[in-house]
């Protein structure tokens, strides 16, 4: 039993920190720290910088161009990125489709797609959910019919995050109606420029545009874009779910957010004193810090145990539930910390003379929006209720 | 970084677990709880034979040189067995005080006796009306030249009715709530003027109210630095808190197993009640709370030995507050999911729940330790 990082891991942390210090663009860091919306260019610029360093896909094995880091190294990297205000690496390419292509794709698919993911050239999005297939994903109906060397795809995908930026979409499509629902699903890679694809924005609760509907109208997809075998897509989808996990607890992000919350509580005033001196508010910060301290250890326990058996387990659901709850507590407290200044949607609208002393527009404006937006984290990626079902079935045998 | 126990630790855990499963069944434990002593002296001797009572002591005093992680591992198993024997008071509390503050001759005299199972001890520190305040000591020890006269009262002394010797804190200087001026003395249970009123506690163990009326002890009874005992007491109680957190985790784990088993076997509406999603999700939340508590207990066990006093304070209070919250919710949920069977004396569930609840009230409850942790944020 040893909870210390080894000297090598500590050196690694120093190296990561110094790389980020000298390479993370200041404009990006400032947007991340203030909780502002990032554009495509922000993500891609950072990905290219990481790629040049050989860190474009830190969790991949070396043979595919990854860094081949251990679970602890990945955690340290994530923690340092979060603390410095680096953009979150979007999961869809490197963490979701890539492991599936590595495990089940053929050689030409691996050579064609993987290098462009790690370099940031291709932006991927996920075509899983549909209007009638949310938590019950296996009931999906988007159809792919084989016609010669092509699949003809028809249907609609929902909740497609950053679909409007994407070059490619990986889709679960129905290729058979025989037998169990799960047995008729295939995993298809589709070029977003193919004729017949329409992307429509869905505006989020905070007014931002992250998600989309994606419509397929007789979209011709070459058969060579099928991953693995036809009708085996559900197996690959389940495999993928397990690989989304290195950062599923989001401990690094939440540690950075906790730090910002404490700064806010020192800057804001209540009854003529810094808000941190208000015991009721301080106790609420303390409570979320306790949750996060425990999760940090639970996260390491799961990561290190996984490292030994090399197979993702349902314990990730525990990390998802706790991690999302903590993230939501933190965003809520940051909003509450602003008092009635959580109301204005934009601080530019306020007259300069009326602008309050204690907080400036830069850090205060997005906080309520973040609270509203963050309600999504207990819904996406399998809602927390679905995660509880997974634990009940897979861990507890209920 | 790793969370693995060593081979020796795993062997110890395994041996102890087998002993508890075989020799400390729930029905045996119930009989013991109602006996005169409230525990078994034979079991105590067997624990000594297993090396448990020697665990945290240096080898030169017959000990095994174990650390807080070893104690954690033992306490988890003791929790699972709802063990009544006075391990916490004797080995963890008094034992660490003597180990850390005793003179060579005190260590020589007391530690091998504890390790051998011949000596029961405890700490008498808290006083009536002071709740969890560590420095609020009104008991006095007046020097008479080559001895001290102790006067005062100590409340809820764990295992106080059976202890052969009691380590008592008393003022040798300073005002009633000063940090300085507190000293420790080792007092034999038969000392004239020492009145011990023992009683059973809610969870079936034993404690005592003690009264000191001109109890005279020699200079050599002084344990540690005169006037400077508070930091030593705090550290010993922190060890005890870490041990209690581990005990609570052991109990929560056992409660989860019992509850899961009940959900799979108890049938209503023609099916096992574990088929119902409302109950499944509650069970899942119990498991999550327990794993989170295990993480926090582990963190405190690893850090309590190695860090400076301020960081130790932060981590130990964090663990006590957090494990207390988990223990409350897991205990209440286990009772609820057992339905009527959760509130009867016959089943171990109600006993586990009571022990968890009493652990929460010992050495500072959740609010107390959350308050300490929270106030440290002011300095952040």
Sequence-distant (≥ 6) Cβ neighbours of residue B376 within 8 angstroms: B313, B314
The CATH number covering residue B86 comes to 1.10.540.10
Does residue A351 register a pLDDT over 50? no
**Do B107 and B72 have their domain in common?**
yes
**Do B321 and B295 have their domain in common?**
yes
Among residues B227, B258, B286, which one ends one of the domains?
B227
Q: Is residue B1 part of a domain?
A: no
Residue A363's pLDDT band, with cuts at 50, 70 and 90, is low
Among residues B174, B201, B227, which one ends one of the domains?
B227
**Do B241 and B359 have their domain in common?**
yes
**Do B269 and B341 have their domain in common?**
yes
Q: Are strands B194-200 and B121-124 parallel, antiparallel or unpaired?
A: unpaired
> Could you tell me the two tokens for A341?
């200044």
Q: What is the pLDDT of residue A347?
A: 61
The residues of A carrying an active-site annotation are: 244
Residue A37's pLDDT band, with cuts at 50, 70 and 90, is confident
**Do B108 and B132 have their domain in common?**
no
Q: Is residue B215 part of a domain?
A: yes
Q: Is residue B284 part of a domain?
A: yes
Q: Check A322 against B292: CB less than 8 A apart.
A: yes
- Is B305's Cβ below 8 Å from some Cβ in A? no
A303 vs chain B: nearest CA distance in angstroms? Answer: 10
* Beta carbon pairs, A and B, within 8 Å: 119
A136 vs chain B: nearest CA distance in angstroms? Answer: 16
Domains of chain A with CATH codes? 7-89 (no CATH), 123-232 (2.40.110.10), 248-395 (1.20.140.10)
Q: What is the pLDDT of residue A83?
A: 94
Question: At CB < 8 Å, which residues of chain A contact B?
Answer: 1-6, 9, 72, 262, 276-277, 279, 282-283, 285-287, 289-291, 293-298, 300-301, 304-305, 318, 321-322, 385, 388-389, 391-392, 395-398
Q: Check B296 against A2: CB less than 8 A apart.
A: no
Query: What percentage of residues in chain A have a pLDDT greater than 90?
Result: 77
Give the mean pLDDT of A21-42.
Answer: 90
Q: List, for residues A259-300, the tens digit of each pLDDT value.
A: 999 999 999 999 999 999 999 999 999 999 999 999 999 999
> What value of ipTM does the predicted structure carry?
0.96
Q: Taking all residues of chain A, what is their mean pLDDT, rounded to a whole number?
A: 91
Percent helix / strand / coil, chain B, rounded to 5: 55, 15, 30
Q: What is the pLDDT of residue A350?
A: 52
Does residue A313 register a pLDDT over 90? no
**Do B237 and B365 have their domain in common?**
yes
Among residues B177, B212, B227, which one ends one of the domains?
B227
d(CA B126, CA B160): 13
Q: Check A298 against B260: CB less than 8 A apart.
A: no
**Do B358 and B267 have their domain in common?**
yes
Q: Which residue of B has its CA nearest to A259?
A: B380
What is the span of the domain harbouring residue B158?
122-227
Does residue A110 register a pLDDT over 70? yes
Q: What is the pLDDT of residue A247?
A: 76
Q: Which residues of chain B have pLDDT under 50?
A: none
**Exposed / middle / buried, residue A276 (Cβ in 10 Å: 0-12, 13-18, 19+):** buried
Q: Is residue B2 part of a domain?
A: no
> Could you tell me the two tokens for B356?
């968890």
Q: Check B281 against A388: CB less than 8 A apart.
A: yes
The CATH number covering residue B200 comes to 2.40.110.10
Q: Check B299 against A3: CB less than 8 A apart.
A: yes
- Is B274's Cβ below 8 Å from some Cβ in A? yes
Among A164, A151, A158, smallest CA distance to A215 is for A158
Q: Check B292 against A3: CB less than 8 A apart.
A: no
Domain count, chain B: 3
The CATH number covering residue B373 comes to 1.20.140.10
Q: What is the pLDDT of residue A354?
A: 47
* B-interface mutation test, from A286, A288, A301, A317, most B Cβ less than 10 A away: A286
Does residue A349 register a pLDDT over 70? no
Q: Is residue B100 part of a domain?
A: yes
Q: What is the pLDDT of residue A372?
A: 95
Q: Check B287 against A396: CB less than 8 A apart.
A: yes
Q: List, for residues A159-214, the tens digit of each pLDDT value.
A: 999 999 999 999 999 999 999 999 999 999 999 999 999 999 999 998 889 999 99
**Exposed / middle / buried, residue A358 (Cβ in 10 Å: 0-12, 13-18, 19+):** middle
**Do B374 and B235 have their domain in common?**
yes
Does residue A102 register a pLDDT over 50? yes
Q: Is residue B248 part of a domain?
A: yes
Residue A245's pLDDT band, with cuts at 50, 70 and 90, is low
**Do B367 and B294 have their domain in common?**
yes
Q: List, for residues A208-240, the tens digit of each pLDDT value.
A: 899 999 999 999 999 999 999 999 999 999 888
**Do B213 and B286 have their domain in common?**
no
- Is B291's Cβ below 8 Å from some Cβ in A? yes
Among B81, B24, B30, B77, smallest CA distance to B52 is for B77
Give the mean pLDDT of A305-330.
Answer: 83
Greater confidence (B146 vs A364) lies with B146
**Do B88 and B193 have their domain in common?**
no
Q: What is the pLDDT of residue B257?
A: 98
Residue A69 · residue A75 · CB < 8 Å: no
**Do B205 and B252 have their domain in common?**
no
d(CA B221, CA B216): 10
* Tokens 């968890």 belong to residue: B356
């Amino acid at each position: 039993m040893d909870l210390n990082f080894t000297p090598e891991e500590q050196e690694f942390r120093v190296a990561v920190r110094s790389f980020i210090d000298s390479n993370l663009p200041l404009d990006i860091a400032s947007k991340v720290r203030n909780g502002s919306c990032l554009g495509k260019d922000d993500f891609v610029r950072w990905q290219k910088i990481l790629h040049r360093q050989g860190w474009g896909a830190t969790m991949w094995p070396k043979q595919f161009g990854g860094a081949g880091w251990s679970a602890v190294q990945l955690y340290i990297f994530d923690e340092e990125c979060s603390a410095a205000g680096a953009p979150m690496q979007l999961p869809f390419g490197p963490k979701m489709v890539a492991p599936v292509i590595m495990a089940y794709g053929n050689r030409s698919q691996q050579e064609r797609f993987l290098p462009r993911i790690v370099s940031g050239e291709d932006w991927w999005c996920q075509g899983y959910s549909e209007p009638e297939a949310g938590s019950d994903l296996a009931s999906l109906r988007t159809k792919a019919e084989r016609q010669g060397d092509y699949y003809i795809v028809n249907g609609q995908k929902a909740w497609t995050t950053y679909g409007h930026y994407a070059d490619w979409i990986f889709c679960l499509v129905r290729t058979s109606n025989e037998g169990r629902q799960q047995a008729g699903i295939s995993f298809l890679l589709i070029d977003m420029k193919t004729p017949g694809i329409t992307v429509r924005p869905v505006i989020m609760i905070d007014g931002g545009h992250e998600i989309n509907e994606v419509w397929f109208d007789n979209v011709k997809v070459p058969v060579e874009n099928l991953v693995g075998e036809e009708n085996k897509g559900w197996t690959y989808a389940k495999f993928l779910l397990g690989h989304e996990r290195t950062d599923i607890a989001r401990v690094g992000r939440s540690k950075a957010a906790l730090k910002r919350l404490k700064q806010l509580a020192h800057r804001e005033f209540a009854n003529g004193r810094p808000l941190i001196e208000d015991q009721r508010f301080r106790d609420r910060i303390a409570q979320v810090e306790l949750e996060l301290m425990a999760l940090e250890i639970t996260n390491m326990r799961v990561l290190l145990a996984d490292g030994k058996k090399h197979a993702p387990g349902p314990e990730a659901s525990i990390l998802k539930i706790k991690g999302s709850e903590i993230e939501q507590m933190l965003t809520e407290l940051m909003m509450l910390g602003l008092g009635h200044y959580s109301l204005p949607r934009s601080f530019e609208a306020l007259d300069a003379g009326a602008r309050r002393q204690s907080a400036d527009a830069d850090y205060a404006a997005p906080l309520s929006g973040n609270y509203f937006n963050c309600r999504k984290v207990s819904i996406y990626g399998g809602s927390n209720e679905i995660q509880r079902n997974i634990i009940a079935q897979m861990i507890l045998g209920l | 970084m790793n969370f693995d126990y060593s081979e020796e630790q795993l062997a110890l855990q395994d041996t102890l677990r087998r002993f508890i499963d075989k020799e400390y069944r729930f029905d045996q434990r119930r009989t013991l709880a109602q006996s005169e002593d409230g525990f078994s002296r034979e079991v105590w001797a067997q624990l000594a034979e297993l090396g448990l009572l020697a665990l945290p002591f240096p080898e030169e005093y017959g000990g095994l040189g174990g650390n807080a992680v070893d104690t954690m591992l033992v306490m988890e198993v003791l929790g699972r067995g709802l063990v009544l024997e006075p391990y916490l008071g004797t080995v963890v509390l008094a034992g660490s005080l003597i180990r850390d503050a005793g003179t060579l001759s005190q260590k020589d005299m007391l530690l091998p006796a504890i390790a051998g199972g011949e000596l029961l001890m405890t700490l008498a520190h808290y006083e009536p009306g002071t709740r969890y305040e560590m420095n609020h000591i009104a008991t006095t020890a007046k020097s008479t030249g080559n001895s001290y006269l102790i006067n005062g009262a100590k409340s809820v002394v764990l295992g106080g009715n059976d202890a052969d010797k009691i380590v008592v804190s008393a003022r040798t200087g300073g005002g009633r709530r000063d940090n300085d001026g507190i000293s420790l003395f080792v007092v034999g249970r038969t000392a004239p003027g020492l009145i011990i009123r023992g009683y059973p506690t809610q969870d079936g163990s034993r404690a005592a109210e003690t009264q000191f009326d001109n109890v005279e002890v020699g200079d050599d009874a002084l344990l540690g630095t005169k006037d400077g005992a508070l930091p030593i007491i705090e550290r010993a109680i922190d060890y005890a808190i870490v041990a209690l957190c581990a005990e609570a985790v052991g109990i929560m784990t056992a409660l989860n197993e019992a509850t899961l088993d009940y959900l799979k076997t108890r049938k209503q509406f023609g099916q096992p009640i574990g088929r119902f999603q409302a109950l499944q999700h509650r069970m899942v939340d119990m498991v999550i709370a327990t794993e989170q508590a295990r993480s926090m207990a582990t963190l405190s066990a690893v850090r309590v030995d190695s860090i400076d006093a301020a960081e130790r304070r932060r981590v130990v209070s964090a663990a006590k507050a957090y494990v207390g919250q988990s223990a409350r919710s897991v205990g209440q949920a286990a009772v609820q999911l057992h339905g009527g069977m959760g509130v009867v004396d016959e089943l171990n569930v109600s006993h586990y729940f009571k022990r968890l609840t009493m652990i929460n009230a010992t050495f500072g409850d959740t609010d107390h330790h959350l308050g300490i942790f929270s106030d440290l944020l002011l300095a952040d």
